[in-house]
């Protein structure tokens, strides 16, 4: 049984891992190289190496060497949880931008960005249309003379507000919606999603539409970008052809645009410099990990990687669910399958074969949020049992299935069960709109609304019949 656990990194996954260790009676020690949360605990402590002890095949223990204030220390731990994530090393592909070394203005990676004041009265180019790049372009547009947002492949920009003012993730991320998406052929799902997104913003008219619309690309959540584009504050441009001393040239145009500042919002790479490649090897933007957590070839399953995944959903409950299962494996309560089974699954995932149904998660680390979490919850007997719930508590069962798949659902049963989970699920919409209802208006129900509710109830019964019977 693992007792002392070293946790590397005190970000959201590290904090969740600490909590899960404490819940299972383990003794976590967290190492954080920065001087702020993240986490604990041993601030400004760099982990230099994590290596197997000489008797690893018997004990499963690890030697962790750290550096703090130029003093090196070593300690033995029964298990290690690596929680450094995938946003560790800024990716700055300068070789892909001819002439960048001749540029006389300022350029930097988006990770270095702190305050929009540096853009005042400047001509700014942001390269990369992910969430960071889009946010920076919008912020810069309030102060800069001109802002260009360069994108190679485009992207889907969505509002945080869905139909009727509901938060989009609470509507989109439901078990019913997820089942429906995964039951339809991929071309139909992508067409329906594109149609819905374009109802809010015609991406073709704004130069944003993705070139590849079959593979899922991370959504860009930005309510302000369309308004900045249509008012001439942000200009969408294609990829960069050449960088000159004080200007750039975009592809498909011969016009030079004067530029003072270039922001590279070009993403990140990740690595584990403190681990030997024989333990975890990173190739093509991913590591060979069973369920994105465990190296399959270790003689003892006493090392777990937490948070190295990109779910279509919230990262915080994903990391916590990973930690809940991982801690029970480290403790010896749950067992992993044989290495051959784990390696077979890892290789199948690396092949990236599309299933032809549901969304296409073909990029490294991408995963279906609800499906993945349910799988991990099954291992610790904490997945909501909808059929038995429908018999004992139908109101809760219908809310769990059709309502937002919030993390309260993951605490209804199993280890870590929370007695307040049911009430939290049933009242989540009340809390969502409590702060917005500053003026309460009495609404009188219409006959049509009553008919619609009846029709919805009948449709609900049909859906339940198809799902559970």
Q: Are residues 178 and 110 in the same domain?
A: yes
Q: For residue 442, is it within any domain? A: no
What is the pTM assigned to this prediction? 0.89
Q: Are residues 166 and 237 in the same domain?
A: yes
Q: Are residues 126 and 74 in the same domain?
A: no
| 261-264 and 268-269 beta bridge pairing | unpaired
> Which of 237, 268, 299 is a domain's end point?
268
pLDDT of 2 reads 60
Q: Are residues 333 and 254 in the same domain?
A: no
Q: For residue 457, is it within any domain? A: no
Burial of 429 from C-beta contacts in 10 A (0-12 / 13-18 / 19+): middle
Is the CA virtual torsion 287, 366, 293, 291 positive or negative?
Answer: negative
Q: For residue 172, is it within any domain? A: yes
Q: Are residues 274 and 261 in the same domain?
A: no
pLDDT of 449 reads 66
Q: Are residues 112 and 239 in the same domain?
A: yes
Q: Are residues 155 and 242 in the same domain?
A: yes
pLDDT of 362 reads 64
* CATH code, domain with 233: 3.50.50.60
Q: Are residues 123 and 240 in the same domain?
A: yes
Q: Are residues 232 and 158 in the same domain?
A: yes
> Which of 370, 396, 419 is a domain's end point?
370
Ordered DSSP codes for 66-119: EEETTEEEEEEESEEEE---S--EE---GGGSTTGGG--SEEEEGGG---GGGG
Share of the chain above pLDDT 70, in %: 91
Report residue 38's pLDDT band, with 50, 70 and 90 as the boundaries. Answer: very low
Mean pLDDT of 220-231: 96
How many angstroms separate the CA atoms of 292 and 308, rounded? Answer: 7
* Angle ∠(369,370,376) on CA atoms, nearest 5: 95
Q: For residue 132, is it within any domain? A: yes
> Which of 240, 268, 296 is a domain's end point?
268
Q: For residue 76, is it within any domain? A: yes
pLDDT of 97 strictly over 80: yes
pLDDT of 135 strictly over 70: yes
pLDDT of 214 strictly over 80: no
pLDDT of 420 reads 96
Q: Are residues 281 and 297 in the same domain?
A: yes
Please provide residue 15's backbone torsions phi and psi, each rounded to the nearest 5 degrees.
Answer: -65, -40
Give CB contacts under 8 A, 24+ apart, made by 462-466: 463/176, 464/390, 464/398
Range of the domain at 243: 90-268
State the virtual CA torsion across 118, 119, 121, 127 in degrees, nearest 10: 150
The total number of structural domains in the chain stands at: 3
pLDDT of 87 reads 87
Produce one character per residue of 201-211: b if its CB has 16 or more CB atoms within 10 Å, e if not: bebeebebbbe
pLDDT of 458 reads 72
Q: For residue 30, is it within any domain? A: yes
Q: Are residues 256 and 178 in the same domain?
A: yes
Q: For residue 314, is it within any domain? A: yes
Point out the least confidently predicted range of 53-67, 206-220, 428-442. 206-220
State the virtual CA torsion across 295, 66, 56, 297 in degrees, nearest 10: 10
- The chain-wide mean pLDDT, for the chain, equals 90
Segment 403-418, tens digit of pLDDT: 999 999 999 999 999 9
Q: For residue 459, is it within any domain? A: no
293: Cβ–Cβ under 8 A, 6 or more apart, which residues?
304, 305, 306, 322, 325, 326
Q: Are residues 189 and 292 in the same domain?
A: no
Burial of 89 from C-beta contacts in 10 A (0-12 / 13-18 / 19+): middle
pLDDT of 396 reads 96
């Amino acid at each position: 049984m693992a007792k002392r656990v070293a946790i590397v990194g005190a970000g959201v996954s590290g904090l969740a891992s600490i909590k899960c260790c404490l819940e299972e009676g383990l003794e976590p020690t967290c190492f954080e190289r920065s001087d702020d949360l993240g986490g604990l605990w041993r601030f400004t402590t760099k982990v230099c190496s994590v290596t197997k002890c000489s008797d690893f095949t018997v004990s499963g223990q690890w030697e962790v060497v750290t550096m703090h204030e130029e003093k090196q220390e070593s300690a033995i731990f029964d298990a290690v949880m690596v929680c450094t994530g995938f946003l560790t090393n800024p990716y700055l592909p300068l070789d892909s931008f001819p002439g960048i070394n001749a540029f006389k203005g300022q350029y930097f990676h988006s990770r270095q960005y702190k305050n929009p004041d540096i853009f005042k009265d400047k001509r700014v180019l942001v390269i990369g249309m992910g969430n960071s790049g889009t946010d920076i372009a919008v912020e810069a547009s309030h102060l800069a003379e001109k802002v260009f947002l360069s994108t190679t492949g485009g992207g889907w920009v969505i509002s945080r507000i869905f139909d009727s003012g509901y938060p989009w993730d609470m509507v989109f991320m439901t078990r019913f919606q997820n089942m429906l998406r995964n039951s339809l052929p991929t071309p139909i799902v992508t067409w329906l999603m594109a149609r819905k997104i374009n109802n809010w913003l015609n991406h073709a008219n704004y130069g944003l539409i993705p070139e590849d619309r079959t593979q899922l690309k991370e959504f860009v959540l930005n309510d302000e970008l369309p308004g900045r584009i249509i008012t001439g504050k942000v200009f969408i441009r294609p990829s960069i052809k050449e960088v000159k001393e004080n200007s750039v040239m975009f592809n498909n145009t011969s016009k030079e645009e004067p530029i003072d500042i270039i922001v590279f919002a070009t993403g990140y790479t990740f690595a584990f410099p403190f681990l030997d490649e024989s333990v975890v090897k990173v190739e093509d933007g991913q590591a060979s990990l069973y369920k994105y957590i465990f190296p399959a070839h270790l003689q003892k399953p006493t090392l777990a990687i937490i948070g190295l995944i990109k779910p279509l959903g919230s990262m915080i409950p994903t990391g916590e669910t990973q930690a809940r299962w991982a801690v029970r494996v480290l403790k010896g309560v749950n067992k992993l399958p044989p290495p051959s089974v784990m390696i077979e699954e890892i290789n199948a995932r690396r092949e990236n074969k599309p299933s032809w149904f549901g969304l296409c998660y073909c990029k490294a680390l991408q995963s279906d949020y609800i499906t993945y979490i349910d799988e991990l919850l099954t291992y610790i007997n904490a997945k909501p049992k909808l059929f038995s719930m429908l018999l004992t508590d139908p109101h809760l069962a219908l809310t769990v299935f059709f309502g937002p798949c919030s993390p309260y659902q993951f605490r209804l049963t199993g280890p870590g069960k929370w007695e307040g989970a049911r009430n939290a699920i049933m009242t989540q919409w009340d809390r969502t709109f409590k702060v917005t209802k500053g003026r309460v208006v009495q609404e009188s129900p219409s006959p049509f609304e009553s008919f619609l509710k009846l029709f919805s109830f009948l449709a609900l019964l049909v859906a339940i019949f198809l799902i559970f019977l």
